[in-house]
Amino acid sequence: MTCFACSSSSTVKNGRASRGYQQFLCKDCGKSFVTGGKYRRLSYKERLEIVMLYHKGLGIREIARRYKISPATVIYWIKRILP
Ligand SMILES: [Zn+2]
């Protein structure tokens, strides 16, 4: 399992989170995260790419399809990153 925050592979299982998702702990950055959610997590690079694509005029739905994430997630990151 690769850490979503620092992309390290030094992760260990860390019990179960809510709804039975497996929880992992990263030994490098100390962050914990879960797997098994409906949509995958995005790396920091992917978040920036999404905002760049939106800036170039690509539609929310097109971006969501390319990255296999929900349109709500696309909107969320655009709002987080754009001023
Ligand atoms: Zn990490």
Give the Å distance between the CA of 30 and the centre of ligand 1: 6
- Residue 34 pLDDT greater than 60, yes or no: yes
Give the Å distance between the CA of 43 and the centre of ligand 1: 11
What value does the mean pLDDT take over residues 52-72? 91
Give the Å distance between the CA of 57 and the centre of ligand 1: 33
Give the Å distance between the CA of 27 and the centre of ligand 1: 7
What pLDDT is stored for residue 39 in this prediction? Answer: 52
Asked if 24 and 11 count as a contact pair (C-beta separation under 8 A), the reply is: yes
Asked if 15 and 38 count as a contact pair (C-beta separation under 8 A), the reply is: no
Asked if 50 and 74 count as a contact pair (C-beta separation under 8 A), the reply is: yes
pLDDT tens figures, 67-80: 888 888 899 889 98
Gap between the Cα atoms of 83 and 67, Å rounded: 23
- Residue 25 pLDDT greater than 80, yes or no: yes
**Global pTM value:** 0.51
- Residue 66 pLDDT greater than 60, yes or no: yes
Give the Å distance between the CA of 69 and the centre of ligand 1: 22
Tell me, letter by letter, the H, E, C secondary structure of 16-32: ECHHHCEEEEECCCCCE
Beta-ladder partners of 12 = 25
Gap between the Cα atoms of 83 and 81, Å rounded: 6
